A and B are shown apart, each in its own frame.
Chain A
Amino acid sequence: MRVLLIAFRLIWKRKLTNITIVVQIILSIIMLAQLFVFVSDHRSSVRAVSELPVSDTIVVSVFEYYTMEQAARQILATPEVESVGKIYTGTFFYNNVSINLAIYNDAIIKHYFPNLTSGNWLSDNPSVDNNAIPVVVSFDMGLRTGDTVHMSLPNGDAYQVTVVGVLKEPTQYLYPSGSASPEYFSARVIISPESVVIMRDTDLSDTSVFEPALGQPAARNLFVFINGDANAADVEAVTDAWRKYGETTPMTSLIANYVKDTNSLIGGASLMFIVFLSLAATSVLSSYLTQSMRNRRLFTVFYLLGMEWRKGVAIEICRMLILIIITMSLCLIAGASGLLMLQWMTLRSAYTFYGIVLLYITVTFAAIGVRFLVRLVREDISAALKELQQSE
């Protein structure tokens, strides 16, 4: 117990240094959290992008001077085209909260299968009560498969909807607002993370009453699905011809670009983080080392006064453990108070994150602590005594 007491006293004695060390470590952990969120965010976007319909899909970003209907009609007239996917966007109010509304036509529903936590996708023609409209909703809306509720348009029109499926968390679904040209393409353009209600256009008598959500541009993207037996040269030729309606890009190249850009972004951020972390670690290590060296002289004095040499080792281990526990507790507090952005992580990545944090803290303290301990254990006492003969 005296060992523990002395360890606490040693930490208290150099409290300023120790506070600096702990703060530095916590700051780098907050940075680590940011990187972690950034990386897992991008990784989930990459995952969502990989769910997009790719095989023989071409995205046409329609110019403003064509209406979507005109462009769709022209493109559909091409023999190589199997169908044209369209998405109407709008707003629904549910419990007085506005929620994105995405209305998919049959072509989209047939080619696109988002991940669900429960229920069925709209392509399974789920049967519901006569008056209700089958919908798939995002998880965060708190609805369950089978629930039937009322939702309304901004103009007050009420709809009865029945939930047939619930999207997986984090929410990701096809929501084509803005441009899909390769330079601007990001998962955010084509994948939305917001709350959503998805329905089929065939379940609605009139889609013209739906308007894009406030602040969202009208969808300008058509998803053109090519016939499986069309030959590549012909497809290239007709794709060229559509350039007058809008920018055309194969889905595969959009995705490839996106994944490449995301990976280099993650690489860059990680590199920056590693540089910062090594700087922080170097400064932590050097002040911890100085402290340990000063403790060595202290232990020699203690030895003189009747401490066993190996008690010094025990004190040093305790000091290391106490600092690890303090730092880790502060991290848990920081996490609980939202500083570590854990709210953006799934439970599993939050646990992984804490695991990494514990590893980082332990390695940082142990890196010097253990080296110092090994020296202390192997110490030739007469050498330490000789040093004590010199003035401090």
Chain B
Amino acid sequence: MLIEMIGIEKVFKTGKVSAVSKILKGIDLTIEKGEMVAVKGSSGAGKSTLLHILGCLDRPTSGIYRLNGVDITNESSSNLSKIRNKRLGFVMQHFALVEDDNVLANVSVPLLFAKTPFSQVDALSMEKLRQLGIDHLAGQKVSKLSGGEKQRVAIARALVNNTDIILADEPTGALDQENSALIMDIFKKLNLLGTTIIIVTHEEFVANACERVITIADGKIA
């Protein structure tokens, strides 16, 4: 089992007073290595919140989260950072790229945090760009690229540390149909190569492209 969640709950403080709202109310979830999973649910259901916990970006209020059988619920933030850096790749709806840097610099950032020797950084980044067919864009400023190109840069960045899990939050949300199809194609190919992919979406065709669909409603998996 790659991912195992037991009774995950997430409570947010709302407003200034001690008012709270429970967004996740006990999520039980297991995902095997090599799966391609879609997480569906209406807007505000808690999909992104769940993805953030899956991605070690945020901590659950209660519950247990195991990665490769290891309980990381109470792992130090330093170790969680290392997990994010080495094992998880994020693809966000609005790309989360550094818009005023060029493509190569953007793709290299995870290598910088991985303390990869400087001499290897460019070569490794270029390799991923080539793999995604956008190596000709390496010197371009991100802000000059189209949405489809930006998302491919984001995927290259997500893969650059040879990560084995991709977490995507509405990755086609800001793209036209053609580019959406292209991105889903890339995910499919990566999945065939063994990468585990978890995609948060509310689009039918994205969910249909995945072998397994999870729906969140009322803070639980329906």
Contact = CB atoms under 8 A, between A and B. Distances in A.
B157 interface: yes
A302 B109 CA distance: 8
Given A306-B81, A306-B85, A301 B96 contact: yes
Interface residues of B, number: 34
A13 B114 contact: no
Contact of A381 (B57, B92, B174): B57
A95 interface: no
B52 A385 contact: yes
A300 B99 CA distance: 14
Interface in A364-392: 381-382, 385-386, 388-392
Given A306-B113, A385-B58, A301 B81 contact: no
Q: Most chain-B CB neighbours within 10 Å: which of A6, A302, A305, A386?
A: A305
A360 interface: no
A308 B174 contact: no
Given A13-B101, A308-B77, A389-B169, A303 B174 contact: no
Say what secondary structure dominates the interface of chain A: helix
A265 interface: no
B48 A389 contact: yes
Interface string A289-306: 000000000101111111
A385 B85 contact: no
B162 interface: no
A391 B174 CA distance: 9
Interface residues of A, number: 24
Contacts of A305: 84-85, 90, 109-110, 113, 157
B48 to A, nearest CB: 6
A306 B52 contact: no
Contacts of A344: none
A300 B57 CA distance: 10
B93 interface: yes
B97 interface: yes
B98 interface: yes
Given A305-B85, A305-B157, A391-B94, 16 more contacts: A6-B112, A13-B100, A13-B101, A301-B96, A301-B98, A302-B109, A304-B84, A305-B110, A305-B113, A306-B82, A306-B113, A381-B57, A382-B12, A382-B49, A389-B92, A390-B94
